[in-house]
């Protein structure tokens, strides 16, 4: 098995005024995804939700700036690290990941000896 990073990109403004019911629905989608990963022969190794981009600090060339570096409609909102047989298997699993109207990106994790 190899490790893959599933990056979740969404329009983070939909969460600004989300009701408790909307948050619960979103969490239920992620719980269903977590269960589906195992059913598809993969394993979730880790993952976290991230605070909004307004809380980010960017460092470029040693200089700090508050917030995201570039303006974008979609922002990285969270990620999963999964074990999958190969890239095709990781893509199969990532297609199940909830991302609202956004999308997910799958990237292999470099492993060093």
Give the domains, in start order, of the chain with CATH numbers: 2-108 (3.30.70.1060)
Most distant CA pair in the chain, distance: 46
- The answer to whether residue 3 scores a pLDDT higher than 60 is yes
Tokens 């979730």, residue located: 44
pTM: 0.86
Task: Look at phi and psi of residue 53 and say left if phi exceeds 0, alpha if psi is from -120 to 50, else beta.
Answer: alpha
Query: CA 84, 86, 92, 96 torsion: positive or negative?
Result: positive
Q: What is the pLDDT of residues 24-72, one digit of tens each?
A: 999 999 999 999 999 999 999 999 999 988 888 887 788 877 765 556 6
């Amino acid at each position: 098995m190899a490790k893959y990073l599933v990056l979740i990109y969404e329009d983070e403004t939909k969460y600004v005024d989300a009701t408790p019911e909307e948050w619960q629905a979103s969490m239920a989608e992620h719980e269903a995804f977590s269960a589906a990963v195992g059913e598809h022969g993969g394993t979730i190794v880790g993952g976290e939700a991230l605070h909004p981009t307004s809380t980010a600090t960017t460092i470029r060339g040693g200089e700090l700036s508050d917030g995201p570096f570039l303006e974008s409609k979609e922002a990285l909102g969270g990620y999963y690290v999964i074990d999958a047989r190969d890239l095709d298997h990781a893509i199969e699993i990532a297609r199940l990941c909830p991302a609202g109207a956004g999308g997910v990106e799958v990237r292999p994790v470099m492993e060093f000896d």
